[in-house]
Amino acid sequence: MTETTQHRTPDSRPTGGLSAQYQPGEVEQRRYENWVSQGYFTADPASDKPPFSIVIPPPNVTGSLHVGHALDHTIQDTLSRLKRMQGFEVLWLPGMDHAGIATQNVVERQLAAQQLSRHDLGREKFVEKVWEWKAQSGGAILGQMRRLGDSVDWSRERFTMDEGLSRAVQTIFKRLYEDELIYRANRIINWCPRCLTALSDIEVEHTDDEGELVSIRYGEGENAIVVATTRAETMLGDTAVAVHPDDERYKHLIGTEVELPLTGRRIPIVADEHVDPSFGTGAVKVTPAHDPNDFEIGQRHDLPSITMMDERAVVTVHGPFEGLDRYEARPAIVAALREEGRIVAEKRPYVHSVGHCSRCKTTVEPRLSLQWFVNTGPLAKAAGDAVRDGRVSIEPAELSKRYFAWVDNMHDWCISRQLWWGHRIPVWYGPDGEVVCVGPDEEPPAGFTQDEDVLDTWFSSALWPFSTMGWPERTPELEKFYPTSVLVTGYDILFFWVARMMMFGLYAMDDVQPFNVVNLHGMVRDGHGKKMSKSFGNVVDPLDWIERYGADATRFTLARGANPGSDVPISEEWCQGSRNFCNKLWNATRFALMNGATVEGELPPAEELSAIDKWILSRLQHVIGEVDEYFATYEYAKVCDTLYHFAWDDVCDWYLELSKPVLAGSEAANSQRVLGHVLDQLLRLLHPVIPFVTEELWVALTGGETVVKAQWPAIDKELIDDAAEEELAALQKVVTEVRRFRSDQGLKPSQRVSAALTGLGNVGIDTHEPLIRSLARLDAPGDGFTATATLAVSGAITVDLDTRGTIDVAAERARLEKDRTAAEKEAAQCRAKLGNESFIGKAPEQVVTKIKDRLATAEADLTRIAAALEALPTA
C-alpha cells in the first residue's frame, strides 16, 4: 500500500470518498436516517448488557427547538452515545407533553379567527379539534430533534395523553385519593383571568412592575389605623385588620372593630404573629379570599372570606364599583377614598414584584377557589430523604441546597385546571352528593357526573420516568431500565418537575427513586453573560446555526460552554470556531488518507517507533484518561476543551507537521499505522459530542460499519512514554520560541532566516535539528553570518539569528510600541473591572473568568513585547 501511494499526485491519492470540503448538509440527514433505519438507537430490554437509561424532559407539543432544548439534548445525546460505545444497553426515551394551557390557547386562537369559541363547539368536539391540530401541526420539535442528531429510541416515543400514560394517570390518582393524599378544598390559588384557570407556580412569571402604594386610614380619631396596599380594589373584600400581638402601638385596639371605608361594614382588629411590625405601619388589611397570607390569617381567626371579584377579575360586590374591571376599579376606589380624606399617603411609581400568566402575560390574581390538591407532606419528605441518604445524587452537589429548600417547605400542590384539554379528573358526583373516584378499569355509577376540571400538566409529567415504560404494568422495560440512570435538565425546573417526579416515583415504585443522578445545567446566555431575550435582540435560534454551520458545530459550541450547574455563554463567533474545528478534522483525515494512514494490523512495537510516534501515542493515553474523568463528573466543557486542544494542537499542528517528512519517505509504514490509530481513537472520543462529522470520517478511515457501535477507547499504559513526551516538549519549546520571535519581529511565515542552534544535545534533541529548522524556517549559518539577535531557550539551548536585511528596525519598533500601548490599555481596563466589587458581585462566573483571562493575556503580551523590543538590533 505504501509503495503505491508514494508515487501518486495529491489529487489522485485515496481520500476514502471524502470531498475536498466538509458540507454538513450533505452528511447529516443521510447519516441520521441510516442510524435510525439500522436500529442503532433501539433498546433491547432482553440484552445482557448493563443498562443505561435517560428519559427526555418532554417538550411541549406546541414547542419548537430553542437554544435551551439544544443544550439539554446535546448533553443527553452525548451521554447516550458515550454509554453505547462503553458497552451499555442504552434507552434514551423520547416523547412530548400535551401542554394543557398552551395547546388549548393555540386551538382557541384558531377558532377565534373563525369567530368561534370552544363553547360553540362543546367539550367533546373541541377536544377532537385539539387532537386534529396535534396530528397536523403538533410535534414539530420531533423533526428538529433529528436535525440535532438525537439518538433516541423512536420506537418508544410517548405522549402524555396517549392511552398508556392516561391509564397511569388514572391509576396513581385513585391510589393517592384512597390514601388521602389527594383532596378537594377551598384554597387560595394562582388564577389567570384571561385563561380562566388555576395555574401552578411554574406557570407564573414574576416581573418588577410599576404600580402605586396607597396608605388608607380605617376608622376615626384614636381608634384609626392606617394600612398600605398596592391593590386598593381588594379592600372591598377586607374582613379584618391584623397587627402583631406585641406591637405596643396597637395593643389597645386588638379585639375592637373599625369601620371599613366605602362599605359601612365593621371589621375586627386581630393580633397575628405573621404581621411584621417593622414593615410599613405595622398594620395589614386582611382579605382572605384574595391573598394567600391573608387566607391563613383568616383561618386562624375564623374570619369570613368575601370574594369581591369574579373569575374575569370584575368587581362583584354590590355598590358603585360593581361591574368594573379590577384596573378600572382601582383608580375609582382611590379617588373615592381621597374624596373622603382617607388617603394618608400615595407613592407612585412603586416598583414591586407582580405575577403574570406565562402563556398570555395577564396579571395573575390570588383567588379563593374550590380545587383539587395533593397533600405533599409525606411525599416531599420521601423525596428529600432519597437525596439525603444517597440514593439520588444531585450534580453539582451544591445545588442540593436549593432542592432541600423546596422539598422541606413544600405547600400542597393545586392539581386541577379549568381547561378542556388534558387528563380529566377521574372523580364522579352522584345526585345526592356522593363522590366516587373511578380507576382505569372501572365504570362510573349510572347517573353520576364527572368533574369538569383537568389535571395540571405537571401531574402527568411527574410520572414520566415510569409511565413511559409501561407502568402500572410490570414491563420488561421497567425491569431493565428503571430506575433511570441520569436525569439531565436545567436547574430552573429543579423544584417544579424534578421534585414532583421524585415524589411520585418513590410513591408508585415501592420507594425506588426515578433516577440515580440529577445532572443540572444552567441557562444559555449570550457571549457577554447576558440573559437571552427578544427585547435584547440576542436570542439564538439553534436551527439557524444548524443550517449555516452544521449540527456538530452547534452542539460543540453548547457543550464547550457547559460547566456543571453554571449558565452557558455562547456566541456566533464561537459557533464559527466550532465549524472551523470540524473542518480541521476533515482536512486532517483527508491528509492522513492521502498519505497512507491505516488501521490495519497491530501497532508496531515501541522499539520500532520514532520519538514523535511514541509521543503522540503517549499524549493520546493521557487524553483518554482526562476525558473519562471529566465525563464521570459531568464536566462537558472540559471534555470538549481537552479534545479540542489535543486534536488541533497536538495532532494537527504538531504531529502532522512533524510526520510530513516521514510520510513522504520510504520508511512511512510505522507512522502511517500510528496516524491511523490516533485518528481512529480521536474520532471515537469526539463522536458523542459531534456525531455526524466523526461518523463520516471514521467510516472513511476505518471502513467500519459505524462509529456508533465502535468500542470506547481505553488507556493502554504501555504506550505512556514520559521520555518521549519530555523530548518532544523540548523540541516544541525551541520551535515555539523561534516562531514567537519571528512573529514579534514581523517576519513573514515563509521568510527564511539564518540561525545557529547550540545546546540541542543538552536535552537530547540534536537529532531533530533538521525538523526544527524546517518548522521554524531557519537556514544553516553561511559565510558572513552575524548574530544580531539571540534567544535563550530553557535547557541551555541558544538560538543566534542573523536578521540583517529581514527587519525594518524603525518600523518594527514603532509597531511594537503601538502594541504595547494597546496591551497596557487592555490590562488597565481589566484591572478596573476586577477591582470593582459591584461588578464582581453581579457578573456571571464565566464573565469574570473571561476578564481574568483577558488580563492574563494582556500581561503576557506586555512581557513578550518588552522582550521583543530588547531583542531588536540597535542598527
Strand partners, 368: 188
Distance CA 562, CA 588 (A): 27
| Dihedral pair phi/psi, residue 91, rounded to 5° | -115, 115
Cis preceding-peptide flag for 261 (omega within 30 of 0):
no
Domain made up of 2-19+571-720: CATH architecture: Orthogonal Bundle (1.10)
- The pLDDT of 778-793, averaged and rounded, is 87
**Strand ranges (E), 435-552:** 435-437, 449-450, 454-455, 484-490, 515-521, 524-526
- The pLDDT of 322-334, averaged and rounded, is 95
Of 382-386, 499-503, 523-527, the one with minimum mean pLDDT is 523-527
Give the model's pLDDT for residue 600: 95
Give the model's pLDDT for residue 4: 32
Percent of the chain with pLDDT over 90: 79
**372 with 416: CB under 8 angstroms?**
yes
Give the model's pLDDT for residue 628: 98
The torsion angle over the Cα atoms of residues 845, 848, 853 and 856, rounded to 10 degrees, is -140
Give the model's pLDDT for residue 810: 77
10 Å CB burial of residue 548 (0-12, 13-18, 19+) is middle
Cell digits of residue 811: 518600523
Residue ranges of domains in the chain? 2-19+571-720, 197-366, 737-871
Convert 165-200 into a string of H (helix), E (strand) and C (coil): HHHHHHHHHHHHHHCCCEEEEEEEEEEECCCCEEEC
Q: Which is nearest to 34 in space by CA: 205, 149, 143?
A: 149
Residue 452 pLDDT > 60 = yes
Residue 2 pLDDT > 80 = no
Give the model's pLDDT for residue 567: 87
Residue 25 pLDDT > 80 = yes
**775 with 796: CB under 8 angstroms?**
no
**Over the stretch 594-625, which tens digit does the pLDDT of each residue have?**
999 999 999 999 999 999 999 999 999 999 99
Query: What are 345-350's contacts with CB under 8 Å, separation 24+?
Result: 345/214, 345/215, 345/228, 346/212, 346/213, 346/214, 346/215, 347/212, 347/213, 347/214, 348/210, 348/211, 348/212, 348/213, 349/210, 349/211, 349/212, 350/210, 350/211, 350/212, 350/213, 350/230
Q: Which is nearest to 467 in space by CA: 485, 482, 487?
A: 482
Give the model's pLDDT for residue 3: 33
**309 with 365: CB under 8 angstroms?**
yes
**Over the stretch 639-669, which tens digit does the pLDDT of each residue have?**
999 999 999 999 999 999 999 999 988 889 9
**70 with 148: CB under 8 angstroms?**
yes
- The pLDDT of 49-77, averaged and rounded, is 95
- The pLDDT of 567-591, averaged and rounded, is 95
Residue 261 pLDDT > 90 = yes
**Over the stretch 94-136, which tens digit does the pLDDT of each residue have?**
999 999 988 999 999 999 999 999 999 999 999 999 999 999 9
CATH no. of 197-366: 3.90.740.10
Pick 246 or 279 by higher pLDDT: 246
Sheet of strand 515-521: strand arrangement: 393-395, 515-521, 484-490
Residue 771 pLDDT > 90 = yes
**Which pTM value belongs to this model?**
0.86
**Sign (positive or negative) of CA dihedral 562, 565, 566, 569:** positive
Give the model's pLDDT for residue 864: 75
**Over the stretch 808-849, which tens digit does the pLDDT of each residue have?**
777 778 877 888 999 999 999 999 989 998 888 878 887 888
- Is 833 known as a binding-site position? no
Residue 688 pLDDT > 50 = yes
3-state DSSP assignment of residue 95? strand
pLDDT-derived band at 8 (thresholds 50, 70, 90) equals very low
Which residues touch 34 (CB under 8 Å, ≥6 apart)? 706
In this chain, the answer to whether the domains covering 2-19+571-720 and 197-366 adopt an identical fold is no
Give the model's pLDDT for residue 534: 66
The number of residues in the chain equals 875
Which residues touch 155 (CB under 8 Å, ≥6 apart)? 42
- The pLDDT of 299-315, averaged and rounded, is 95
Half-sphere exposure of 874 (CA within 13 A, CB side): 0
Give the model's pLDDT for residue 314: 96
Residue 495 pLDDT > 70 = yes
- The pLDDT of 299-313, averaged and rounded, is 95
Q: Please give the mean pLDDT across all residues of the chain.
A: 92
Residue 270 pLDDT > 90 = yes
Of 547-556, 801-810, 824-833, the one with minimum mean pLDDT is 801-810
